[in-house]
Structure 1
């Protein structure tokens, strides 16, 4: 009987080991993704709903309440500028800043936006006639930048 002195080693690890390694790498990813999808599908609001995306398809009033107060004020004043005149919008801007001092840091940006919108609606010379010292004459600055 003849014995070999060199040990015989297997060149490959075999298909079972490769499948096991692949499974060990893929399984955690699949579990995390399926768990994430399961959590996303749960209706956490407590209200009965058939839609999976009920939170994302809320009505307009819900979205409006989630917007920043200065954005709501700016949009309201821009609408008022178009419906009435820039003077009324500037008066209401000053009243809003007086009532809510936290809006003061946004007053300049809102007044400039009103000035630019006034130029688009009324023209530069007529828009300039509505200028007043609200927010350090930012309205006039917005008119000037839009006009040039």
Structure 2
């Protein structure tokens, strides 16, 4: 009798840890927040880990802000004034003024149509605003 009990004990000692590990893995993949629609296994890896977003450059922030002003209904004349003020305040933006003014011209065409958008053209960053209007018209 002791021989049979010892044999069962040894078998359990070998099989039980494997069963516990497998059942624990299955339990983790079957929790409500787990994606059950995919057949992929949940693995711990660095793949897919999000990295902190790079800070946006000042000219990109300014372009987004000014185009947003146009889309919210501000007159292109006022937005062009804001662009000129920012370039005067921060001369490092001057090299990006042309691209920003073109983006404003395109946004103005979308908001007002080509004819009315062209009526706001003035020499901010040379004729870049007008070029942006013309490229959409």
Correspondent of 2:132 among 118, 142, 146: 142
Q: CA deviation at 1:132?
A: 1.0
Distance 1:73 1:139 in 2: 15
After superposing on structure 2, the runs of 4+ consecutive aligned residues of structure 1 that deviate more than 4 Å are none
Quick one: higher RCO (CA 8 Å, sep 6+), 1 or 2?
Answer: 2
Map of 1:60-139 to 2, 5 A cutoff? 63=53, 66-83=55-72, 84-139=74-129
Q: What runs of 5+ residues in structure 1 fail to find an aligned partner?
A: 1-36, 41-51
Distance 1:82 1:95 in 2: 20
- TM-score normalised by length of structure 1: 0.57
Map of 1:17-28 to 2, 5 A cutoff? none
CA RMSD of aligned residues (A): 2.2
Q: What runs of 5+ residues in structure 2 fail to find an aligned partner?
A: 1-43
- TM-score normalised by length of structure 2: 0.61
